[in-house]
Structure 1
C-alpha cells in the first residue's frame, strides 16, 4: 500500500535559493536595546540541504572565529501557508521560539516572540537581495511590541563551490 500525499504547494520551493555552501560576512551588534553602535564583523560559513522534498531544509552555520555553531531548521506549514524557522546554537543548545512568515516580491519577512537576556522581544528575520549567488539575512528586535525595530545582525551570503 502506498502512502497518499497531498499535492505540494509551489511555496515549498521558496527557500531553494539557500541550498548549497556559502561564505558569510557577519555584522552583529554587541549591545542590544540601548541604541548602541558597537558592531562586530566576523566571517562564518554555511551549508544548507533540503529535506522532505523541499518542504523543509536544514542549515548549519559554522563560526570558528567566535567559537560557535548554529543550525536553522525551516519548514513550510502547509495549512497556514507560511514558513516557520527555528534556531539552535552550540552556545546554549536551546531551541529558540520560531519565527513565521511569507515571501513577497521583496523577499521574506518572518516574525515571532523571543527573549533577549530574559527580556521579551519581537524577533524579525528578513531575507532580501536574493540572487543566484548571494543573499542577505537581517535580524531585528523590537523591545516595545513592534513600535520600533533595532537591526542587530546582518549576514551577507556569497555562494561557494559545494
Structure 2
C-alpha cells in the first residue's frame, strides 16, 4: 500500500519523528485520530462553509484601505479524514470574471512542530502561478493565526522580505485575513491587503469525485500548452500493481480539473489510505510540480518535479522544496533536485485508455536507476 502511495505521490520517506511522546509522528493511528479532534488541530474549522470575501487594497488617497475590492466566492471543507482544510475560491460574479483570480489552499497542522502549514496556488489571467509551490508556516495562539514565509517576489539582493498572513476577529459569520511584509526582520510591517470574509452558508462542498471542481471555467486562465497535459486523468480510475515490497495494491483515483485549466487534482484511495494529489505547470518555474499530502500520521506534504508533462514525463522527488521555517527560501530546494533525487516516477503511458507509471530508485546520486515497481491505472469499465 505505502509503496504505491510513494509511486504516485512522492511519499517515499516518512518524516522522521522526534522523540517527544506527544508528537503525532510517534502516535499510533488511533491516537492520531483523537489528536485531530483537539482544539489545536481544529483551529481552522471556523472557516468551513461557503463565504463571500472582499479583497481590499490600500487606499492611495487615505490612511486605510479601499471600502470595496475584488469579490471572491469561497468554499471551504475538510479532507483526508479531517487532517487538512481546503479553501477553494473563484470570482463571485461571472460577469466580472475576466480579471479575477481563482485559487486553492491546503492547510494542515504539523504534528512535529505544532505549526500550521499552508500551500496554495492562485493563478490569474495572464499569469499561471507557481504550481502549488507557494507555502507558509506558523502558529495559532489565543485565537490568532499567523503564517509566515520567505517572499522572493519582494526580496532583493540587499533585503530579504518575509511575508505574513494573519487571521483575526474570528466570529461565526465573519473574520479578517491580512497580508503584510517586513524587510527588517519584523521590526516593522507593511500591510498590503485586508480581506473581510462573510459567511454565505454553513454547508461546504466535499472533495470532488471524478469531475471538474466547483467554480471551474474551462480555459479562462490556462488554455494553452503545456497546460492540460494531465487533463486526461479527469474521472475515476482503478489502480492495480504491486508496491516496492512486492505486495499487491488495489484502489482508485478520482481526479478533476480546477483553477480554470491550470491544474488537475484529486484523491488516491488505496485500502482506505487517502492521498491528495495535484499536477500543475508553472511558466515562471518552467517546471511541472506534483503536490501530495497523505492522511498518514506525521507526514508533511511533498513535491516531485518534471520538465515536461503527460506521457513520457519523469517526476523527480524534491523533498527540499517543502517549507521548513518562516524565513527559509524554499524555492532553493528545487535547485539540483533531479541530480540529487533517489526516487523518480516515469509515466510510460498516459491516454484515455490507461496509464502506466514506473517507479525507479537508485542507491546514490551516482548510481544507475533500477525499476522498483510498475503500476497501472485503467478506467473502471475496462
**Cα distance, 1:105 vs structure 2:** 1.5
Q: Partners in 1 of 2:54 and 2:64 — Cα distance?
A: 18
Q: Partners in 2 of 1:30 and 1:93 — Cα distance?
A: 26
SS at match of 2:139: strand
Rg larger for:
2
- Residue 141 of structure 1, aligned match among 176, 181, 199: 181
Structure 1 stretches (4+) deviating beyond 6 angstroms?
none
Instruction: Name the structure 2 match of 1:130.
Output: 170
1:53 equivalenced with 2:86 (yes/no): no
Q: Aligned runs of 1:85-104 on 2, under 5 Å? A: 85-91=118-124, 92-94=128-130, 95-104=132-141
Instruction: Name the structure 2 match of 1:16.
Output: 45
1:105 equivalenced with 2:145 (yes/no): no
Indicate conservation of the 8 Å contact 1:16/1:54, yes or no.
no
After the TM superposition, which of the residue ranges 94-103 and 44-53 deviates more from structure 2?
Answer: 94-103
Q: Deviations over 1:16-37 (max 9, x none)?
A: 1111100111102499xxxx98
Structure 1 unmatched runs, 5+: none
More helix by share: 2
Indicate conservation of the 8 Å contact 1:97/1:114, yes or no.
no
Indicate conservation of the 8 Å contact 1:23/1:43, yes or no.
yes
- Give the TM-score normalised by the residue count of structure 1: 0.83
Instruction: Name the structure 2 match of 1:82.
Output: 115
Q: Which has the higher contact order (CA 8 A, sep 6+)?
A: 1
Indicate conservation of the 8 Å contact 1:42/1:65, yes or no.
no
- Give the TM-score normalised by the residue count of structure 2: 0.37
More strand by share: 1
Structure 2 unmatched runs, 5+: 1-27, 92-96, 204-382
Indicate conservation of the 8 Å contact 2:56/2:65, yes or no.
no
Q: Partners in 1 of 2:179 and 2:167 — Cα distance?
A: 9
1:7 equivalenced with 2:31 (yes/no): yes
**Cα distance, 1:82 vs structure 2:** 1.1
Instruction: Name the structure 1 match of 2:197.
Output: 157
- Residues 17 and 155 of structure 1, relative CA distance in 2, 3 Å threshold: same
